[in-house]
Amino acid sequence: MADEVTHLIFGNLAILIPAIPIVASFIVLFFGKYFDKKAHGNLIALGATGGSFILTLLVSGEIVLRLLLDHAHIEEKIAFTWFHVGDIDLEIGVLLDPLSAVVSLLVALVAFLVVVYSRSYMSHDGSPRYYAEINLFAAAMLTLCFSPNFIQLFIGWELMGVCSYLLIGYFYDKEVVPEGQPHPASAAKKAFLTTKIGDIFLFAGIILLYLETLDVGPTFDFITIRDYLHEGTIQFDPMWSVVIALLIFAGAVGKSAQFPLHVWLPDAMAGPTTVSCLIHSATMVKAGIFLVARSYFVFEHASSEALLVVALIGGITAILSGTIALVQTDIKGVLAFSTISQLGYMTIGLGVGGMAVAVFHIINHGIFKALLFLSAGSVIHGAGTQDIREMGGLRDKMPHTSIVMLIGSLSLAGIGNGFFSKDAIILHALDHASHEPLIYLVWLSSIITAFLTAFYIFRLWFLVFPGQSRKPEHHAHESDSWMTRPLWTLAIVSLVLSGIYLLGNIPVLNFELIPQLNIEHHMAVWLEGVAPHIEKSLIVMTQLSSIIIALCGIGLAYLVYYPRKNATVTFPEDGTFKFEVEEQDSIVGIQQASRSVIRGVKSTFIGRGVQRLLEKGYYIDDLYLGLVHIIYAYFCEAMNWIERNIFDNAVRFVGRIGYELCGFSRWWDDTVIDGLVRLTGRASVALCGLAKATDERVIDQGIIRGSAKGVMKTGGYFRRIQTGVVENYALYTLLGAIIIIIIGLLFAGELPL
């Protein structure tokens, strides 16, 4: 592979890929009822997802073509600073590389086909809210795919959680649900809360990883952290490296429904089938696998125990869900547990060092599982039931759905495009087992699960399409072109991929007709830098055994469940099944013998116990519910004791203190405050009396009345002087003049004293 970095022609358009459906989600939510009223705004959603898909073809298609033809290293980041916090510039934008390219192609294609399919499937139950949430759901996954850093990835991650909650609970107002199925509102809450457990661990892992970069340049950027690790700029403590890796993986366990947080995914079937298709094939559950693949550099630099835990969890999940799928009677339930099992395969691939083959299986599984879910939706739409025991004979009434679902079933069983990636995971597990003996258990789990997968998916197909209708009153019919065209598109894509893989490398023979189309090899080079070297004998043995195992699973399903010769199939209450055949032949005889053995085993005490165990999902849900009840009971009892012995006593103590404070306050009020008030009152009265006495005796009687009397007396004296005799006035004047002269002489010092 060349070292030069190729500049992408359409790279700048990548930012529009998630932006268009985000904007469209708000447009259809607020204005969808005014446009395309009959389809609830489907045309807006269709235009948005279609435009996003076309842009993805241009951007991601260019990346894939250049990788195939030019063998150039493509890793282009287009980002701008979102905001600045402390020493870090947080960016938002797109990271264009092989991983984002291949996954975004799957997401955009499936989202577009789901919206096309929904125009007919949701014609009666649809609403602008539905299409807004579907667009936002697809946009969240595309945002996650192109995220250049952990923060943007986490935003898309959480946005998907919200959208899944809203879409799973879309029929939240449903009054009656079929027996044994959860209410949509309860299923939505269960999915949200269960995945939130993993989200908390993931967030903690992101923060711890960020803290490791503080000394060399704090960052959340994928490329920067990867380069730090590869260059040795940062060195993980061995313990913390495992902790951080497992915290990130715990987020994937929740989102990708791995044991023990897998319990939410089967209940997610309460939403519309189109939602189930998006969740199971292209968005929600693939996000966890994508997360581990995107941050695989963390796992590579952790000790081997981290990847061993990943592989073991994947092995447990695969076989656990594969066995539960054997007894499911809900068509969507079979596919739900199948998804969990296939996600276990992807997790095994991640755990055994085959990150590329895990991503390879994401693509193949996304195509055939979308095909299977949309086919199941077509069956439900046409047959009017989800119970496969009430179906049968749909092959003639629904020929298109029958064929495309057969193609999807073959792929899931390991005959079509699913063979190449599933076999690659099994091969990597076997090769890795030579370094870690515990991986042999994981490899054995993958082998058994491969057989179970082929068996249960063809059990479903044989009970649904061949034979006679077990509910003639349902009047089954084929779906219209809005639904069958997406089905045929996915079926053709599955077949084309199978053809490409065959041209690239013919299984067992290991002969490359067109080396450029050896996608498995190229995926390893694109994502891991180098293709692993595995002995050819091991490759041949694994491929041959995978084909034989798949055929054995299909063959056993044929012997047990295929209703030949117009057989009438019934399902008694005891959980078994009966086939009444009109015409006998050698194959019918073999089938009857096989069914007798199966019924015999199922009728034994152990058989009934195993049947019940699988029907109850190993009682994991009941265990969680029991734990919750126990915790709730003990918690309530503890809270009751705390309330009686702590809070009540505290309240009483506070009450007594309050009572005493009230008594003191009363005494203080009566004695001090009231005393001061009374003293102030008395002083006021005394002051008032003094003021009154002063007013009456001093001012009124003394000053005012005394002044008046003095004036009157003075006036009387002056009145006596005013005699009217001129001689007296002359005498007074003379006397006054003499007095003035004498006084003047005294002051002048002329007269001695």
The full set of domain ranges for the chain reads 1-148, 163-174+182-302, 320-561, 564-614, 619-722, 725-753
Which one is predicted more confidently, 722 or 34?
A: 34
| Rounded-to-integer distance, Cα 373 and Cα 549, Å | 24
Task: Please compute the mean of the pLDDT values over residues 722-731 and round it to a whole number.
Answer: 72
Helix, strand, or coil here: 149?
A: strand
Q: Which of 340, 331, 281, 344 is nearest to 181 (CA)?
A: 331
Per-residue pLDDT reduced to its tens digit, 131-163? 999 999 999 999 999 999 999 999 999 999 999
| Rounded-to-integer distance, Cα 598 and Cα 433, Å | 34
Task: Please compute the mean of the pLDDT values over residues 697-703 and round it to a whole number.
Answer: 77
Asked if omega into 260 is within 30° of 0 (cis), the reply is yes
| Rounded-to-integer distance, Cα 253 and Cα 19, Å | 28
| Residue 537: CA count within 13 A, CB half-sphere | 0
Most trustworthy range by pLDDT among 393-397, 628-632, 692-696, 700-704: 393-397
Task: Please compute the mean of the pLDDT values over residues 95-124 and round it to a whole number.
Answer: 95
Per-residue pLDDT reduced to its tens digit, 367-386? 999 999 999 999 999 888 89
Check pLDDT > 70 for residue 3.
Answer: no
Helix (H) or strand (E) holding 729: helix 726-748
User: CA–CA distance from 141 to each of 290, 526, 582 (Å)?
Assistant: 10, 22, 53
Count CB-CB contacts under 10 A for residue 498: 21
392, exposed or middle or buried, with CB in 10 Å at 0-12, 13-18, 19+? buried
Residues 440/446/452/453 CA torsion (nearest 10 deg): 180
Residues 170/175/179/183 CA torsion (nearest 10 deg): 40
Query: So what's the pLDDT on residue 6?
Result: 62
Query: So what's the pLDDT on residue 111?
Result: 96
Range in 191-200, 528-537, 575-584 with the lowest mean pLDDT: 575-584
Split at pLDDT 50, 70, 90, the class of 751 is: low
Per-residue pLDDT reduced to its tens digit, 155-174? 999 999 999 999 999 999 88
Check pLDDT > 50 for residue 2.
Answer: no
Per-residue pLDDT reduced to its tens digit, 180-225? 788 999 999 999 999 999 999 999 999 999 999 888 888 999 999 9
Q: What pTM, to 2 d.p., does this model score?
A: 0.84
Report residue 615 as tokens: 């029907």
Q: What is the mean pLDDT of the chain?
A: 89
| Rounded-to-integer distance, Cα 250 and Cα 258, Å | 9
Cα angle 579, 582, 586 (rounded to 5 degrees) comes to 80
Residues 85/87/93/96 CA torsion (nearest 10 deg): -150
Q: Which of 431, 125, 95, 469 is nearest to 293 (CA)?
A: 95
Check pLDDT > 80 for residue 314.
Answer: yes
| Rounded-to-integer distance, Cα 13 and Cα 63, Å | 13
Q: Which of 355, 327, 281, 346 is nearest to 109 (CA)?
A: 281
Query: So what's the pLDDT on residue 151?
Result: 95
State percent of the chain over pLDDT 70. 96
Most trustworthy range by pLDDT among 218-222, 314-318, 600-604: 314-318
